[in-house]
Structure 1
Amino acid sequence: MASSSSQSSAAAASLLQRQLKEITNAKDVPGISVGLLRDNVFNWEVILMLDHDLKYYGGAIFRAHLTFPPEYPHLPPKMVFQTPIPFHPNIYPNGELCISILHPPEDDKYGYENASERWSPVQTPETILLSVISLFSEPNEDSPANLDAAKLLRQEKEGGPKEFRKRVRKCVRESVGED
């Protein structure tokens, strides 16, 4: 008889296979490409091709790994950007994405996030990636993972030097192999 955790892992693998097929076949999700990393359904490679209309990051192409736990969809995946790592207030210098919907479904010990903003099993890889693209459109400098990026963005929004934009443009050029 199979253990409960192996049954849970098998159910997660089946769900992820279905969700991978759905997002791969989706015609209404432009700018997102996904595939398995090392033929493991729990590890996806993601390519985000950000539209030129995005205020800061338009024209960028970023690669990331989306790693799902065996307890998915009850626990969230983790997303880590690969080199070059985007200069972004919500991306740690090691490439790990910090976004509320990927935080565990528990009370926020710091009191910053409502439970409704955190992970819920109704989220899917598609909704996660659409939220990430939205975050590139409107970075959240109020809850930064990269303090330097958040500080520069705030200064720019307050009429200061365009240093944030300059650093992002360099990052965008690197993402398409121009630097």
Structure 2
Amino acid sequence: MNRGFGAAPISQSALLLQRQLAELNKNPVEGFSAGLVDDSDLYLWEVVLLGPPDTLYEGGIFKAQLVFPEEYPLRPPKMKFLTEIWHPNVHQSGEVCISILHEPGDDTYGYEAASERWLPVHTVETVLLSVISMLADPNAESPANIDAAKEMREMPDEFRKKVVTCVRKSIEEF
């Protein structure tokens, strides 16, 4: 696709994102929806994730953004929840911290294998399915939100109450 006579051709990363968006529109995936924030920017997506069934997050409707780098798919997108969420693998700022979104290559701390980190074969779909899996199965051993992880391990009833509050707020705000 060309943006018009004399305009630079669309980049390979933008073409790939365009194809992934078209595929998600053609074949929606249960548990989330994704689209562009603004039709003029293929690198900024809005996402709505449904809390996975049979989890503390069930019933929640969580808004988030994906921001893709120009080097996509060689580098991962960044994901941030816009809806308040209490989870060990989500920073209090809303930024998602899971292996699939970490820069490719070896982990300098030795915690993750390179195969667990970003790989160019990942798509918007695989990222969002990984985040849904993260909601269903929090990793308190490698937390982004230390307070949530500690509470989940040591005070599960308090953790549950905070999650239920976030789920209720997510519904009210949607």
Q: Same fold (TM over 0.5)?
A: yes
Distance 1:78 1:137 in 2: 20
The alignment covers a number of residue pairs equal to: 165
Aligned residue among 144, 160, 164 for 1:165:
160
Uncovered stretches (5+) of structure 1, i.e. residues with no partner: 1-5
Give the C-alpha shift of residue 175 in structure 1. Answer: 0.3
Distance 1:35 1:71 in 2: 20
Supply the AA of the counterpart residue of 1:23: L
Distance 1:168 1:50 in 2: 11
Supply the AA of the counterpart residue of 1:176: I
CA contact (8 A) 1:98 1:145 kept: yes
- What RMSD in Å do the two structures reach over aligned CA positions? 1.6
Supply the AA of the counterpart residue of 2:20: Q
Query: Secondary structure at the residue paired with 2:35?
Result: strand
| Residue 120 (structure 1) aligns with | 119
Give the C-alpha shift of residue 136 in structure 1. Answer: 0.6
| Residue 129 (structure 2) aligns with | 130
* 2:88 equivalent to 1:93: no
* 2:174 equivalent to 1:175: no
| Residue 103 (structure 1) aligns with | 102
Distance 1:38 1:58 in 2: 29
| Superposition TM-score, scaled by structure 2 size | 0.90
| Superposition TM-score, scaled by structure 1 size | 0.87
Supply the AA of the counterpart residue of 1:177: E
| Residue 24 (structure 1) aligns with | 25
Supply the AA of the counterpart residue of 2:51: L
Distance 1:26 1:129 in 2: 15
Give the C-alpha shift of residue 60 in structure 1. Answer: 0.2
Runs of 4+ in structure 1 over 6 Å off? none
Supply the AA of the counterpart residue of 1:154: R
More off after superposition, 71-80 vs 147-156 = 147-156
CA contact (8 A) 1:32 1:46 kept: yes
Query: Secondary structure at the residue paired with 1:177?
Result: helix
| Residue 14 (structure 1) aligns with | 15
Task: Note the alpha carbon deviations across 1:12-57, whole angstroms, 9 max, x for none.
Answer: 0000000011112224x11211110122110000001224x23210
* 2:63 equivalent to 1:63: yes
CA contact (8 A) 1:54 1:136 kept: no
CA contact (8 A) 1:107 1:115 kept: yes
Supply the AA of the counterpart residue of 2:97: C
Distance 2:109 2:11 in 1: 34
